[in-house]
Amino acid sequence: MGVLLTKDAVNHALERSLDLVEVSPAANPPVCKIMDYGKHKYKLTRQERNAKKQSRVKASIQKTKEIKFKTRTAENELDWKLRQVKKFLSKGNKVRISVLFRGREITHPELGMNVLKTVKDSLLDEAVLESPPGLSGNILAMTLMPATKKK
């Protein structure tokens, strides 16, 4: 509409049953807009609500999954569990690999370290070691996270 006097702008807004809203008060002259202010506020709250939903969805994308091994895990079961780990990593999840010691197996932690080393070596391209292997109680565990893709 161009540059108008304040009275004229208010009259235009009243004729159309709308509101005169100041958009940019710092400009010279100040910029105003004729609109339905209630409808505008409603759209803003809707946009904020959708943005919150989106941020919740994005925040919950990366979860920590856990795959448990034993010191005497068979070769075919090891392959199957590695496929599961690769699937979790491809979806962007962190994976906690744990080796459970039962009974007197705890006296030979090198058996568990061998299992973790085998897993880590087979996932060199897909995963990065986030936390190194550590023993807590009768569980030896390490955490892997998806490798960043180089473009």
Give the pLDDT of residue 76: 94
**Rounded Cα distance, 120 and 100, in Å:** 17
Reported confidence tier of residue 122, pLDDT bands at 50, 70, 90? very high
**Rounded Cα distance, 146 and 108, in Å:** 30
Task: Please tell me whether residues 82 and 136 are part of one structural domain.
Answer: yes
Position 35 in a domain: yes
Q: Which domain holds residue 126?
A: 64-146
Which CATH number is 85's domain given? 3.30.110.10
CA distances from 131 to 1, 65, 79, 88, 150 (A): 63, 14, 22, 17, 22
Give the pLDDT of residue 132: 92
Q: What are phi and psi of 149, to 5 degrees?
A: -80, 130
Q: How many domains does the chain have?
A: 2
| Mean pLDDT confidence for 40-64 | 82
Cα dihedral: 148, 85, 55, 52 (round 10)? 180
pLDDT by residue (tens digit) across 9-31? 999 999 999 999 998 889 888 89
Report pTM.
0.57
Give the pLDDT of residue 151: 44
Reported confidence tier of residue 58, pLDDT bands at 50, 70, 90? low
Task: Please tell me whether residues 38 and 74 are part of one structural domain.
Answer: no
What are the structure tokens assigned to 51, written together?
């943005």
pLDDT by residue (tens digit) across 72-86? 989 999 999 999 999
Reported confidence tier of residue 57, pLDDT bands at 50, 70, 90? low
Task: Please tell me whether residues 70 and 128 are part of one structural domain.
Answer: yes
